[in-house]
């Protein structure tokens, strides 16, 4: 796995705070437009407030590198932005520090943080920052008329390559929904061998037309280059390409898979106190609302919602582009983190064997 590193620092502020007291923390996230939103809303204001430095590294998800660092006793990462199932699993496996939720600031009206965060956003070892979704998208200038999860699997009506993440997560759920399974029954069915077989059978129908992606920046590029006519993607990446770069991309919300991203701290992180201060700062009401100025991921605090306003272009209302907007929830599925925490290894093995056929 290749990691890119950028150091964001404010030397003048560091000097003002006193070099002896300044600290540096390493914060790991997913890169691209998402990390940029964190840098603008979290990193820069925290550095300005504290005089500390944030070293920002990119990765492609999962717990492999965290596990390697912890087990080797060479932990260099202080915070990692992970999916909910990885936060739960990493905590269960002893790879993560427990988070002190009492350090999290209350909402502006005094509501305690534990009551202000959306249900499920706080776990023993994690604090959520965003609600995001895996959706699929298309280039409306080349493939008009797409409006249903069924269309992602319909090669006859919409011929051409599809982009899918090289991971069973979301692909299996979308396959079942496209095969007629109601969203509310997906995980019950996936918990059976017959359900898993049915999902893979549906994926078989487009397997020969799939371009596999691993990094979040790839789907918009695949669409822009014409390598695929549709691709699953993280909703914020498509929004950024459309609103920020003028690409004629459209999000299809039908069959979206909603999830949290959360801050976790690897066991033995070298700068725990400063890292926890960053977590508290970056997940306060204002900071989470500020992030939504840069990317269409919903804030994990209830009090942040009313503060979400315009995109950085000064004209695009962000509310309708959030996964949690009422019109986008008509056939939405909330990721079952317990299912994936329990079944990730087995389904990864099945998925990789299926790919190799």
| pLDDT tens-digit readout, 186-203 | 999 999 999 999 999 999
Question: What pLDDT shows up at residue 8?
Answer: 45
pLDDT score for 25:
98
pLDDT of the residue at 120: 87
Q: How far is CA 320 from CA 88, 132, 297, 327, in A?
A: 30, 13, 11, 8
Q: What is the pLDDT of residues 7-31, one digit of tens each?
A: 444 444 444 444 446 899 999 999 9
Residue 36's φ and ψ, nearest 5 degrees, are -60, -40
Fold of 133-258+323-356: D-Maltodextrin-Binding Protein; domain 2 (3.40.190)
Whether the predicted pLDDT of 5 surpasses 60: no
Alpha carbons 331 and 148: distance in angstroms, whole number: 10
5-131+260-320 and 133-258+323-356 in the same fold: yes
Q: With 90 as the cut, is the pLDDT of residue 2 above it? A: no
Q: How confident is the model at residue 232 (pLDDT cuts 50, 70, 90)?
A: very high
Q: Are 263 and 30 in contact (CB under 8 A)?
A: no
Work out the average pLDDT over 281-300: 95
The stretch 204-226 carries a mean pLDDT of: 97
Q: What is this structure's pTM?
A: 0.82
Where do the structural domains in the chain lie, given as residue ranges?
5-131+260-320, 133-258+323-356
Contacts of 46 (CB under 8 A, 6+ apart): 52, 54, 277, 278, 281, 282
pLDDT at 242: 96
Per CATH, the number for 5-131+260-320 is 3.40.190.10
How high is the pLDDT of residue 21?
63
Instruction: Please name the residue that has the structure tokens 């699929």.
Output: 136
Query: Which pLDDT belongs to residue 1?
Result: 42
Q: Is residue 332 helix, strand or coil?
A: coil
- pLDDT tens-digit profile of 295-308? 999 999 999 989 99
Asked if residue 178 lies in contact with residue 202, where contact means CB atoms within 8 angstroms, the answer is: yes
Highest mean pLDDT among 206-215, 303-312, 332-341: 206-215
């Amino acid at each position: 796995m290749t990691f890119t590193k950028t150091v964001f620092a404010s030397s003048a502020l560091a000097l003002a705070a006193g070099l002896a007291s300044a600290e540096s923390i390493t914060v790991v996230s997913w890169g691209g437009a998402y990390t940029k939103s964190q840098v603008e809303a979290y990193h820069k204001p925290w550095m300005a407030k504290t005089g500390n430095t944030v070293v920002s590294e990119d990765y492609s998800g999962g717990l492999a590198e965290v596990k390697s660092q912890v087990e080797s006793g060479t932990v260099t990462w202080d915070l990692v932005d992970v999916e909910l199932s990885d936060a739960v699993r990493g905590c269960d496996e002893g790879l993560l520090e427990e988070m002190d939720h009492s350090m999290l600031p209350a909402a502006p009206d005094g509501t305690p943080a534990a009551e202000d965060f959306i249900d499920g956003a706080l776990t023993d070892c994690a604090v959520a920052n965003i609600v995001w979704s895996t959706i699929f998208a298309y280039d409306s200038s080349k493939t008009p008329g797409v409006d249903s999860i069924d269309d992602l699997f319909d090669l006859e009506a919409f011929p051409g390559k599809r982009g899918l993440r090289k991971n069973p997560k979301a692909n299996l759920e979308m396959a079942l929904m496209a095969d007629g399974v109601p969203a509310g029954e997906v995980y019950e069915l996936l918990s059976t061998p017959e359900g898993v077989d049915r999902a893979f059978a549906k994926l078989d129908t487009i397997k020969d037309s799939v371009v596999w992606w691993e990094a979040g920046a790839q789907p918009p590029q695949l669409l822009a280059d014409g390598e695929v006519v549709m691709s699953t993607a993280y909703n914020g990446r498509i929004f950024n390409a459309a609103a920020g770069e003028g690409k004629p991309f459209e999000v299809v919300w039908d069959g979206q898979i909603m999830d949290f991203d959360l801050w976790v701290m690897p066991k033995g992180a070298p700068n725990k106190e400063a890292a926890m201060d960053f977590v508290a700062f970056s997940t306060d009401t204002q900071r989470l609302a500020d992030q939504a100025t840069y990317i269409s991921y919903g804030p994990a605090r209830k009090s942040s919602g009313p503060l979400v306003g315009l995109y950085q272009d000064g004209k695009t209302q962000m509310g309708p582009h959030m996964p949690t907007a009422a019109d986008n929830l008509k056939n939405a599925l909330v990721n079952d983190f317990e299912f994936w925490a329990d079944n990730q290894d087995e389904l990864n093995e099945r998925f990789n064997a299926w790919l190799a056929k």
